[in-house]
Structure 1
Amino acid sequence: MGTPVKQGRSPQYALGAALCVVALLATWHWLSLGQSPAVMPSPAQTLEALWEITADGSLATELAITLLRAATATMLALCVGLLFGWAATVSRFADGVLAPVRAILQGLPPIVLIVCLVLWMGSDPSITIIVCATVMVPLIAAATASALQSIDPHLLELGAGLQLSRTRRLVFIVAPSILPPIVAATGAVASGSVRVAVMAELLSAPDGVGAAIAQTRTLLQTPKLFAWTLAIIVCALLVDLAIRVVVKRWTALFSPSDRAATARTRKGTRIR
């Protein structure tokens, strides 16, 4: 019996998702009936506020600031996480030294770190980057260590038997083995870094989506608060979708079965 081919989203899935969205909007509208916009704005009032922050340019400006900080934190966490994971794999002593650091970073609530950094640094935009990177480093380090430990030793022996140089073994054996899980782990935490960035900006940054939300809260501009929330939800979903596409393509680059399937498809061969 052959392996079943993974199908795309079915019409039933799309119908269920559409009905759920309609039900949520109807519930939201029902809860807003008879309420002041300062307490519970309606979907229409939220969309009106969303159009207002879009028209005045604040949506694009603040979103760009938040996404740039999240991307910077992701690159920083990737560099540190790769170093931590590699050191923990090649040296037992380094693994013992880094174990308490990983435990502290994994157990430290981001909100506590934000409060401490605000006390030490004041209102500093770099706090957002530090907090996001701190959340991501342990996960990337764990993925790196796991990927390095799962390299097939027979492939390394084969490379040594063929007298491949260290650089060639790194390029043709090590990299294809460790890149897919590391990229997947980085993508998973990067999509969540947008939400962490907003939380950090809410308490520490003078600009960004989090700062805009803090301002609307202070001024009791609840429709704008809901509009910013809706915008960041959509943005986080789009970032997650883009990361999934990138991860899928990176994984396919190093998957022999996927490369073979792609080659057959380009030649016009049908895959049954």
Structure 2
Amino acid sequence: MKKFLYILVFFTILSSCNEYQKALKSEDIATKFKMGEELYNEGKFSKANKLFAQIVPGYRGKPQAEKLMYLYSLSFYEMKDYYLAGYQCERFADSYPQSEKIEEVSFIGAKSYYMLSPVYTKDQKDTKEAIEKLQGFINLFPNSEYTSEANTLLQELDYKLELKAYSIAKQYNHLSDYEPSIKAFDNFIFDFPGSKLLEDALFYKLDSAYKLAINSVEYKKQNRLEAAKSYADAFLKRYSGSEYIEEVNNMVSVIDEQLTNFTNISTAKI
């Protein structure tokens, strides 16, 4: 019985493959469309896509073209070909702005750009483009059933940019390149004032300012110590229960001691 079932399945698959090959070679665009739609519904997106690609020119201007382009565009997304999915979905939206599928296709197009966004350690050009596309979708369809998911994806991309900016600033700190580190953290704080990384950013900005001051030449040291002290006071006022509190207090002790030395030197000169 099992042997019979295996044979039956084998011939069913073989027959299906033969039908697909015939459809590929056929000059009848209706046959290709019908089989392509069946394959799409069965989840065989790559095969469906090949058939659709053959008949897109033949259906241009025809009533069935909208449905064909809908399936064709989404087949790229299902195949994880996100570059072409984004492009084809945008073409569909431009060609059929009144379509009942416009929200779905526009969202899938924007989401395709999200899928292209790399890890935060890499260049974030694609991430910025994805943010633009998703925000554009939200602006066009604020009440769409897809808006909630679009907002979630947008938040993930925003956080990725936060991580990128934060990691660059922190890397300067680790490399003992303190002035660029302070500037990079200032930019981060300005660009992401509500970031969950704000406490860490303010601490490492202080850390950079402190190390820059302590290791400065004498004629620059006092001003840099005073700047570091102002950062420390601001940090302690804002994060009195921080995990960094002991380190900050140690910095403040050293800063106060060294500033006292400058005060004593000034008094002695008088």
Indicate the TM-score class for this superposition, using the shorter chain for normalisation.
Answer: under 0.3
Name the larger-Rg structure.
Answer: 2
Q: Which has the higher contact order (CA 8 A, sep 6+)?
A: 1
Q: TM-score, normalised by structure 1?
A: 0.25
Q: TM-score, normalised by structure 2?
A: 0.25
